[in-house]
Amino acid sequence: MIRWSHVRQALAIALAILTLELTGPTAGAQDQADEPTAPNGQTTGLPLPRFVSLAASEVNMRAGPGTRYPVRWVLQRRGMPIKIVGEDDVWRRVVDYEGTEGWIHSSLLSSRRTVVVTGAVRELRRSASPDARVVLRAEPGVIGTLLNCTSGWCLVEIQDVRGWIERSSIWGVLDSEMAD
């Protein structure tokens, strides 16, 4: 069924875009376009993308932002890192480390930063050096708490053991968060 109010709204938006394209940007708008800015969430104003973790041991990932949308996945790993890529009121559009996308209610997410080990068995080392003593070996899928990152290495804690792991061996940290 066609909703004419939606059609009128879409036509109004298209007309506004066409008008902007024909008249060109104003000087003030051009100045703003020249400044590089990170996109921010429309609800929280926080940068996008950003990482958080699951706050519950069972979280529904839905097809859209609301309970009227079907549950596509049930995530069952409390503390798993999740990348927020969009916001709609209390809902967050997310991606997990396997690339699965969906929507999760914000109350089921925690600001606690975690990472997941990727690829093969990875070594945590005493210091941020490939020659440092190994303090722990972690299998793919193991979740650790993120403590710090610097120069291609991240300090994490897994099962009460702290160690440095190569940034390329984990998922849960943006490239822009890396200190050089």
Nearest-angstrom CA–CA distance, 150 and 143: 19
| pTM value surpassing 0.85 | no
Q: Is residue 45 part of a domain?
A: no
Contact 94, 73 (CB under 8 A): no
Percent helix, strand, coil in the chain (nearest 5)?
20, 40, 40
| More confident of the two residues 58 and 6 | 58
H or E segment and range at residue 113: none
Do residues 104 and 120 share a domain? no
Quick: pLDDT tens for 78-132: 999 999 999 999 999 999 999 999 999 999 999 999 999 999 999 999 999 999 9
| Nearest residue to 109 via CA among 66, 145, 148, 75 | 75
Do residues 106 and 124 share a domain? no
Pairing mode, strands 50-54 and 161-166? unpaired
| More confident of the two residues 38 and 66 | 66
Contact residues for 66 (Cβ-Cβ < 8 A; gap 6+): 91, 103
Q: Is residue 141 part of a domain?
A: yes
Q: Answer with the one of 97, 112, 127 that is the final residue of a domain.
A: 112
What ranges in the chain are assigned the alpha helix state H?
Answer: 4-23, 27-34
Q: Is residue 56 part of a domain?
A: yes
Nearest-angstrom CA–CA distance, 178 and 167: 9
Q: Is residue 164 part of a domain?
A: yes
pLDDT for the residue 41: 81
pLDDT for the residue 38: 57
Do residues 28 and 70 share a domain? no
| Number of independent structural domains in the chain | 3
20, 28, 49, 126 from 180: Cα distances, Å: 41, 35, 20, 20
CATH number of the domain encompassing residue 94 = 2.30.30.40
Q: Is residue 43 part of a domain?
A: no
| More confident of the two residues 23 and 72 | 72
Nearest-angstrom CA–CA distance, 180 and 177: 10
Domain carrying residue 82: 50-112
Quick: pLDDT tens for 154-163: 999 999 999 9
